[in-house]
Amino acid sequence: MNAHANIVLQQAESKTHSPEIPWSDWREFSYEDIPGLAGELYKETESHASRSLPKASLAGTIQMLCMAAGRGKLKTHTGGKVNLITYTAAPSAAGKENPQHMIKSLAYILGWLRSMSNSPRSDKTIVLDFIEEKAEGCMVYVVDEAHQFLRAMSSSKASEYTQAMLTTILSITGSAIYPISSTTARELRKECRDRRKELDREAKQLDKAAEKGTPVEAEQKELDKQAREIERIEKTLDVGLHDVHCNAFLSSTISELGREINTSTIESGLLGRSLFFLCGEERARLNQDAKGYDMISMRGITNKLAGIQNGGRIVTLSDSGRAALASVLEWVEDDQRRNDATIGALYSRSYQRISSLAALFAAGDDYVIDKEHVRAAFAIDMQSMSDMTSMLKQNEAEGPAEMIEVRIIQSLSDKPLGIAASTLKQGATKPKSIAKACQKDPNLYQGVIGGLIERQAIVQDGNRYKLRR
């Protein structure tokens, strides 16, 4: 069983060793119960899906709310920024593109396309997105085939500018002020000087044209505008970026994106700022009646999103929200969780992620965090950590038996009614390496099942298996 499952399933039951878990039913939490605008947007996104993919729709919902929150300078109850990175791992052709279309469509309708982009290619690209005010203080990077983007940042063969993207993203998401690196600043200052020389030459040409009686007012205004922009950029290079919001919507296949869940990415701090959505390996049936996003049907939601942009608010806490967050803080900051050798770094940033989610869920809903906002945020964060640690365990499994065990636990983790024995076996043994191992040892799978039952990790109920709860 993975590290997170061990802590949650075993320690939570021992009040002498751990504070009481705030909501022990987090696995059964339904996205249909997400409150407020977030719930509306999630349901709307799913309704447009040609193939239902709930976790991907939730990731898209979170990123769309992050865009609105970033543009509106929304703050958590502690005054912190709302920045989130989401990973969506799903099979090819399973429907990952639907929430991407949702974000692009709503950004277009709202006039927010400047706040989104595809994969950046260097740290300079990221800085320029904010310096040139294209992002208007917020960027959501929508990255398909995200494993390529992630591996480029960690590759020793990549340029120093590509490798520096990770540091840039972590610095911007983790601090209110981002001092621009001296290397990038030098390059941009040189570009500003070169551009100013060009403007001077163009200005002299306009002067000559004016002496001959040619109207140059419009051209002169444009030159003045560009000169002011150069001055603004140079000033930003001196003082750095302030209160900018950087988010990333990363999507790829399970096999490719799953490899990026490892101890190195945990220790780097990237996963601690992220939510991971493992969508499962089955594709939903095609919905031939699915339709695209249009301005009329989305008007109610876009009006509320625009309201968040215009808010500039810090969310507050109701009495129930304050009590719920206090309970969450006590639980995630338990000594054993916080100092766990494998996933302690994830727990250490859990309260921050939950606070950000709760703020997003309260936005457009009177901007007051109550118990239901915290409950939804806690459940989603715990589900994300369960998905992360499942992939981590699979990546670090020492043999096929351990991989089968992890896949069984993961499959059952969000299925309170259990899974039919044949379906569970098919999913757990699907990877080629496991299937080959089972061919060599026909008793391998049943041996793992027997061991889990003996340890009381799972229970058999007729022809179905369930996670022990």
What is the pLDDT of the chain when averaged over all its residues? 89
Distances (CA, A) of 13 to 2, 66, 108, 181, 458: 17, 35, 49, 48, 16
9 pLDDT above the threshold of 50: no
Q: What is the pLDDT of residue 134?
A: 59
- Residues recorded for the chain: 469
pLDDT-derived band at 2, boundaries 50, 70, 90: low
Q: Are 237 and 185 in contact (CB under 8 A)?
A: yes
Distances (CA, A) of 364 to 33, 125, 183, 229, 328: 16, 32, 41, 34, 23
Q: Are 40 and 387 in contact (CB under 8 A)?
A: no
8 pLDDT above the threshold of 70: no
Q: What is the pLDDT of residue 191?
A: 94
451 pLDDT above the threshold of 60: yes
Decide which of 15 and 452 is more confident: 452
Q: Are 279 and 88 in contact (CB under 8 A)?
A: yes
16 pLDDT above the threshold of 60: no
pLDDT digits (tens, 9 = 90+) for 145-164: 999 999 888 777 778 878 88
Q: What is the pLDDT of residue 347?
A: 95
13 pLDDT above the threshold of 80: no
Which of 6-15, 46-55, 255-264, 408-417 reaches the highest mean pLDDT?
Answer: 46-55
In angstroms, the CA 152 to CA 172 distance is 19
pLDDT digits (tens, 9 = 90+) for 278-336: 998 889 999 988 888 888 889 999 999 999 988 778 899 999 999 999 999 999 999 99
Q: What does pTM read for this prediction?
A: 0.85
Tokens of 311: 């808010």
Q: Are 271 and 392 in contact (CB under 8 A)?
A: no
SS3 per residue for the chain: CCHHHHHHHHHHHCCCCCCCCCCCCHHHCCHHHCCHHHHHHHHHHHHCCCCCCHHHHHHHHHHHHHHHHHHCCCECCCCCECCCEEEEECCCCCCCHHHHHHHHHHHHHHCCHHHEECCCCCHHHHHHHHHCCCCCCEEEEEECCHHHHHHHHHCCCCCHHHHHHHHHHHHHHHCCEECCCHHHHHHHHHHHHHHHHHHHHHHHHHHHHHHCCCCCHHHHHHHHHHHHHHHHHHHHHHHCEECCEEEEEEEECHHHHHCCCCHHHHHHCCHHHEEEEECCCCCCCCCCCCCCCCCCCCHHHHHHHHHHHCCCCECEECHHHHHHHHHHHHHHCCHHHHCCCCCHHHHHCHHHHHHHHHHHHHCCCCCEECHHHHHHHHHHHHHHHHHHHHHHHHHHCCCHHHHHHHHHHHHHHCCCCCEEHHHHHHHHCCCHHHHHHHHHCCCHHHHHHHHHHHCCCEEEECCEEEECC
For residues 427-460, one letter each, b for 16 or more C-beta atoms within 10 angstroms of the residue's C-beta and e for the rest, the string is bbbebeebeebbeeeeebbeebbeebeeeebbee
pLDDT digits (tens, 9 = 90+) for 94-137: 999 999 999 999 999 999 999 999 989 899 899 988 887 655 78
Question: What is the average pLDDT across 387-400?
Answer: 84
Q: Are 87 and 282 in contact (CB under 8 A)?
A: no
Question: What is the average pLDDT across 25-32?
Answer: 92
pLDDT digits (tens, 9 = 90+) for 187-213: 999 999 999 999 999 999 999 999 888
**Bridge partners of 466?**
459
Q: pLDDT > 90: what percent of the chain? A: 59
pLDDT digits (tens, 9 = 90+) for 32-88: 999 999 999 999 999 999 999 999 999 999 999 999 999 999 999 999 999 999 999
pLDDT-derived band at 342, boundaries 50, 70, 90: confident
6 pLDDT above the threshold of 70: no
